[in-house]
Chain A
Amino acid sequence: MKGNEAIAEAAIRAGLNFYAGYPITPATEILEYLARHLPVRGGVFVQAASEIEAINMVYGAAAGGARAMTSSSGPGMSLKMECISYIALAELPCVIVDIMRGGPGLGDIQPAQSDYFQIVKGGGHGDYRLIVLAPSTVQEAYDLTFESFLLADRWRIPVIILGDGALGQVKEGVDLYDKAPVLFEKPWALSGAKGRKPNKIVPFNLEALELEKMNLALQNKYRAIEAQEVRFENVNINSKTKLIVVAYGTCGRIAKSIIKMAVEKGLDIGLIRLISLWPFPHNEIRYLARNFPSTKFLVVEMSAGQMVEDVRLSVSDDTRVSFFGRMGGVVPAPEEILREIERKGLC
């Protein structure tokens, strides 16, 4: 099963009621899979005429209390940003899948991680955050997508599944375990004010003090999410580890194979593979940096260096943080990264 198909299947099993999307490589299989499977399994599928339309349909469906999702890639994600900002302030749950490709501009259709800034730091206007989950295998894409609907409902926040073209297109076996989705009561949803007071979803306030209050409420929620939803995987990290590679998604997967090769070469390399990009494991990286003061960090991304800024912030000593990246849709080979480690004498 392709990564994209696993994501679509997980969404259906998580109780997806509504999906709208627009074709774009390398994310299109999600749209096509749901066109085939969602209507016959009780959900609504709409092919929108643009990504703007798609995300606004999701805004409506989510406001109506449905489990709603859209998916896209680079240029399409850029178009969705205004509405994502509205959904964030409206505090509605939804899931958005971004299968990243090479940018900027029309770029290409090869795997990349060049949209970390856009997705993790904002992209739309205003002070908002999104839960961002970055699977590195098809199984993990399935697991995280299933769970993302629960997180979205629990926190009333859009959750982004951030993959890349490699994850979307690769075929792997997946355990499609049967698990009943946990559903939430949504007393705030729009459904006609019958026997209750009207519900209103109003993502604006023209009074500065009132809008500040809405912002403060959002920020409080974000602090709670930061305290509870950080996810990452540590591999081979102990007091002897000389170098910790930090990576996510496809690069996280490549980095795992480096660890194996390094053990064979007798090098002490560990890995932090990030699963949640927001909330970011700042505290955990800070802890490692303080407790292992001679350990260095190497951030590997398919970008010019975006997540590395967050790692530098956590380590608080730029001399200990190096970066290796490829751009434009080039996926780095493990040997290439290992050569870089040896060349720079990082280990």
Chain B
Amino acid sequence: MSGATRDTAVRIVLLYPELLGTYGDGGNAIILAQRLRWRGIDAEVISVGADDAVPTSGDVYVLGGGEDGPQVEACRQLAAQGVLTRAVAGGSVVFAVCAGMQLIGTEFPGPDGAPVAGLGLVDCATVRTGEKRAVGELLTTTDTGFDIGELTGFENHAGRTRLGPDARPLGVVEAGVGNGSVGVNADGIRTEGVVAGDGAKVVGTYLHGPALARNPRLADLLLGWVVGELPPLGVEHRQVDEEAGLLRDERLAAVRAGNLDGVLHRTWKDRLLGRN
């Protein structure tokens, strides 16, 4: 299917923003829609509230991060409706960050630490290892056959994710935690995120929140799976990618200079709350 010949708008479904949207994750839906519109391709963002029916005809389903309780609730509702599983089988794209990635795997830890069954859209399992929460910049290189360069973002998660034989990583960790100790593969490579290995168009990552803001090539990869080859952005819309380039340069330089932020700097507020 090519963008020029579509007669309906690309439908980007943002799932449960009030359950899975604590870190500006809704930004990913905005970014995907704008990058289509700027190429003359109609796009609409459909925001699905908790308890609402999930549309069956979505082209891209976007899931964000959230706290443990809402994560279990979101998973329960998606499992009950079954729409997402059928949509993936029908070729729809899923992009899931952080808690969203954990719940599309086979299992993840619930609020009490006991494993909860995930949707099983992709072959990965998330566990608690007793290691401290991963908070800070995350930088990966991609060796997964996608020509999208380094991926940069911020991670904030307690779980660690083991990839099964039917999944591959989205990236290889250069700095940060990513999938963590259980995500080190047989070759000793530290992995980040997950891509379905069975041809399904499912991608998960610990680059949380508006991950696509810093990684426009990842956004275009997902969109290409929907509309085929993407025309380049028009001249009047190139400013945003130039600025994303400046943002990437700044973040990559900071990380490579050893500035990973977050947990390194604890304030009196953290101490008062007993945070590690």
Say if A and B assemble together: no
Chain B residues in contact with chain A, CB under 8 A?
none
